[in-house]
Structure 1
Amino acid sequence: MTDTISLVWFRRDLRLHDNEALVEACAADRVVPVYCFDPGDYGTRPFGGDDSFDFEKTGAHRARFRLESVADLRSSLRDRDSDLLVRVGRPESVIPDVAAAVDAASVTMHTWPTAEEMQVEAAVKREHRDADIDPRRFWGHTLTHLDDLPMAYDDVPDTYTTFRNAVERDATVREPLHIPEIPAFPADAPDPGSIPSIADLDETLTTPRFDDRGVLRFDGGETAALDRVESYIWEGDHLREYKETRNRMLGADYSSKFSPWLNEGCLSPRYVQSEVERYEDVRVSNDSTYWLTFELRWRDFFQFQFAKHGTEFFRRGGIRDRTDIDWRTDDAQFERWAAGETGIPFVDANMRELNATGYMSNRGRQNAASFLANNLRLDWRRGAAYFETQLVDYDPASNYGNWAYIAGVGNDSRDRYFNIVKQARQYDANADYVKHWLPELDGLPAEYAHEPWTMTADEQADYGVQLGRDYPEPMVDLEASYETLR
């Protein structure tokens, strides 16, 4: 009797634990795990739609993280007498070709609610229509499973609090799946291939070196992900103070920093939740342990919002179809924002951290986004696309959903903007963060480090910081710009 063979297509689910597509594939006699680097994910691309613009799809930080994650997955599979077949090419060509070459009876995969992921998946499924191959999809990237929502996904509330209350009251979280016994890789399968270099994916990119000013070395892969959960929750015992520390700006452990591994699928949110619950049983259950779950649900919220609203989130008017905001295009101002040269230290420090490391705190993201979208009134989608390029933890739903929220075109009926200097004083009282990333301001007292434009000419001379020479003049009058938003 001929062995049955299943192909499991790894996408943004680069893990063995809690992976339903892998578990289901392992019911076959033989399994061929495949990962495909899609050229469409790299290089310069048009944003699409009305008022389009070009941007870099995947920057060096996330490309490096993804390559490491794929290498770690291959190593874990090889430790189990399996392998990972790696290809560079369009998935709608690669996946059917490999399935045909190994005579696969089924292809298992995870699915996402965002447009590009769904388009690629649909293209792969179309190629299997004429073949005797069963493509099987699974939902596995949220804390609450799509099928366990207390409402249909197209009835998900557009406000987070209403969504959270309903899910907390009427839904349960599934137990994470164990790593299955993985059948041997077929001896006659095609050559597994080599993992490309970062330059193979995009000749304009080079592998970034770790900047020791960064909060954490984000090593890609499931191994590093599980190590981070262990070190943050158990070894460091940081979870008990998460709510109090999560808005800090400097240091490895002020927040969990699980997001890069969650968003590339190296870490399952259900696994994180199971560790939170174990921590509550063994050590303490308090507001901080609840708050980590709260943040996982916030991540869920945007996944289900994109399932509901689809591509409306990528329109300039957002899901609210706002036409009353006069969004501007100014390349010079945008480039100053992107480079961290706005003359507003709290914004500049965060943007320089992002460019150097691929990461910035949630507090920093909100302020940098608010400055671009509200103070400058530049097209918020360009800012969101720049974050897509740079962030090591980019997720389309979380990124564009949060940007739309800040820009006033998303999941909030109110106009939202941040008083950036007030935020800087609250979350960086001594200007330690600002001075960390803007060493040219190191000699200033905290009040001037946050508002250098308030120094007189004599004070600038005394402190050795001349605006326009050592540090930029502010590109906008913050207070005047707030008046237009009130």
Structure 2
Amino acid sequence: MNEKTILIWFRNDLRIRDNEILIEAVKRARKVVPVYCFDPRYFSETKFGTQKTGVLRTRFLIESVRNLRESLCSLGGGLIVKIGKPEEILPEICALYNVSEVYHHREVGAEETSISAKVEAALWKQQINLKHFIGHTLYHKEDLPFPIRNIPDNFSVFRKKAEKDSSVRTSFESPDHIEIPGGVLQESLPGLTDLGFPAANEQEEEHPVFAGGEDEGLRRLMEFIHEGSNSRNKNYRFISSRLSAWLSLGCISSREVYWLVDEYRKLLPDLSSKVISELQLRDYFRFMLKKHGHIIHHHEDGLKELSKRERNAFEKWKNGNSGNRVVDACIKELNSTGYISELSRQYAANFLVNKLRVNWRAGAAYFEEKLIDFSPAGNTGTWAAVLEGKIISPNKNISPKFDEVEQEEEIRKWLVDQNNTSAA
């Protein structure tokens, strides 16, 4: 039996199913030390007056970390949870438990990769290796029919070539048992106030639209399939699986979703095709950020402040008072639930940039705060599409015009005035 101890640095991979770093650590070490860090940099304020992580996504994150800890404990393990910078916390834990190697999943966002580099440098001072794994995409980059630098910039071309010339790897099994070092402390998870939110936000929602965790993500997937199999309306054009929140935090993996949905391909071909297209779009945005990351900067350094006119327009837009009924419906739904469809995001973003003439980065920062399924690649992809005058959708036959008639029910639902009367 190998006597080494491996630390598992969980980030956006909060699951035990189909998790290569967990399986590999258990296979190669006698003991593992699972760790999650609530990094305060992700709960700071931007120059646009927005929070990098809003209350809805923070609550979802806490729930997801809690579910991960419960799952690990059920296997005989546990999860060390800390508030602080990983480059400071991880070396301390490594020293405490005599860790010989650290495993984590590679990220593509500029901030995420910068933090990885800081962790790697800090660990190297202790002669500890940070091993990188790839596990956030449907298609493994080594299985693509082209190198990253040659990936088609057109989503439709990318999707067709990937479907034809690539394949989806099988999912990893969950471990049967995890052994952690003795004396690992199971400290309480932080609450919203610990992360800088007012105490009033601590009260739990009675009926949350999204509940975090691997168990909830799998439940939502099966619920969506069940809805599809029992639905009289087989037009999936304007509906979404809404799995993106769980996918963004890695509560469920794209591969696992793919293989579960694939089982229903003959029974529900349209539904299966739609979900797979959503997964392919996630891959496309991630690979585009990897390909063009040196051009598309999501940093705030050197950006000009918004003008007074821009600030006023931005305030109206983000409060759902822009004057455009569809945009206002989209933003009110976003503010209430933390979610709107990709088409709605692009529609609202296009209005902010091209009609209100507000710096797109302010809108991107607002989406970063409010979206419960935020990811650097997805958010950058949305705004890049708008700046290029494109509409990018997982729906293969989507019309470039946002259909107000078909969306009338959703518009009426969210356009409600202070007296609770429906908008005309």
What TM-score results when the alignment is normalised by the length of structure 1?
0.78
Provide, for residues 408-457 of structure 1, a one-character-per-residue CA deviation record: whole Å limited to 9, x for no partner. Answer: 27899xxxxx999x6352432xx32222122339877xxx83xxxxxxxx
> Which of these two proteins has the greater Rg computed from alpha carbons?
1
Partner of 1:89: 84
Secondary structure of the 1:87 match is: strand
Q: How far is the alpha carbon of 1:160 from its aligned partner?
A: 1.1
Provide, for residues 96-144 of structure 1, a one-character-per-residue CA deviation record: whole Å limited to 9, x for no partner. Answer: 1111111111111001111111011111111121323221110101100
Partner of 2:402: 423
- 2:6 and 2:33 in contact (8 A); partners too: yes
Q: Please tell me the residue identity of whatever aligns with 2:62.
A: L
Q: Please tell me the residue identity of whatever aligns with 2:364.
A: A
Provide, for residues 244-274 of structure 1, a one-character-per-residue CA deviation record: whole Å limited to 9, x for no partner. Answer: 2341xxxxxx321100000011010000000
Partner of 1:44: 45
**Within 5 A, what are the aligned runs for 1:40-189?**
40-46=41-47, 53-189=48-184
Partner of 2:304: none
- 2:236 and 2:271 in contact (8 A); partners too: no
Provide, for residues 210-234 of structure 1, a one-character-per-residue CA deviation record: whole Å limited to 9, x for no partner. Answer: 486xxx621100010111112111x
Alignment partner for residue 248 of structure 2, among 241, 263, 271? 263
What TM-score results when the alignment is normalised by the length of structure 2?
0.89
Provide, for residues 179-227 of structure 1, a one-character-per-residue CA deviation record: whole Å limited to 9, x for no partner. Answer: 02333121133x2322111111124472475486xxx621100010111
2:337 is equivalent to residue 357 of structure 1: yes
Secondary structure of the 1:245 match is: coil
Secondary structure of the 2:35 match is: strand
Alignment partner for residue 313 of structure 1, among 272, 276, 296? 296
Partner of 2:410: 433
Q: Any unmatched runs of 5+ in structure 2?
A: 300-306, 393-397
Distance verdict in 2 for CA 1:309–1:55, change over 3 Å: same
Greater relative contact order, per chain length (Cα 8 Å cut-off, separation 6+): 2
Distance verdict in 2 for CA 1:96–1:406, change over 3 Å: same
Aligned residues between the structures: 410
Provide, for residues 323-356 of structure 1, a one-character-per-residue CA deviation record: whole Å limited to 9, x for no partner. Answer: xxxx996101100000011122211122111112
Distance verdict in 2 for CA 1:207–1:192, change over 3 Å: same
Secondary structure of the 2:167 match is: coil
Q: Please tell me the residue identity of whatever aligns with 1:229.
A: L
Secondary structure of the 2:103 match is: strand
- 1:242 and 1:289 in contact (8 A); partners too: no
Distance verdict in 2 for CA 1:98–1:86, change over 3 Å: same
2:393 is equivalent to residue 393 of structure 1: no
Provide, for residues 31-67 of structure 1, a one-character-per-residue CA deviation record: whole Å limited to 9, x for no partner. Answer: 1100001000002134xxxxxx453100000000000
Query: CA–CA distance in 2 between the matches of 1:308 and 1:83?
Result: 37
- 1:240 and 1:288 in contact (8 A); partners too: no
- 1:369 and 1:403 in contact (8 A); partners too: yes
Secondary structure of the 2:187 match is: coil
Secondary structure of the 1:77 match is: helix
Provide, for residues 338-381 of structure 1, a one-character-per-residue CA deviation record: whole Å limited to 9, x for no partner. Answer: 00111222111221111122112333222211111111121111
Alignment partner for residue 310 of structure 2, among 314, 318, 330? 330
Provide, for residues 267-303 of structure 1, a one-character-per-residue CA deviation record: whole Å limited to 9, x for no partner. Answer: 100000001111125x34x233222212211110010
Secondary structure of the 1:188 match is: coil
**Within 5 A, what are the aligned runs for 1:4-19?**
4-19=4-19
Displacement over 4 Å in runs of 4+: 238-243, 409-412, 441-444
- 1:369 and 1:406 in contact (8 A); partners too: yes
Query: CA–CA distance in 1 between the matches of 2:288 and 2:160?
Result: 16
Partner of 2:383: 403
Distance verdict in 2 for CA 1:311–1:334, change over 3 Å: farther
Distance verdict in 2 for CA 1:83–1:260, change over 3 Å: same
Partner of 1:342: 322
Partner of 1:30: 31
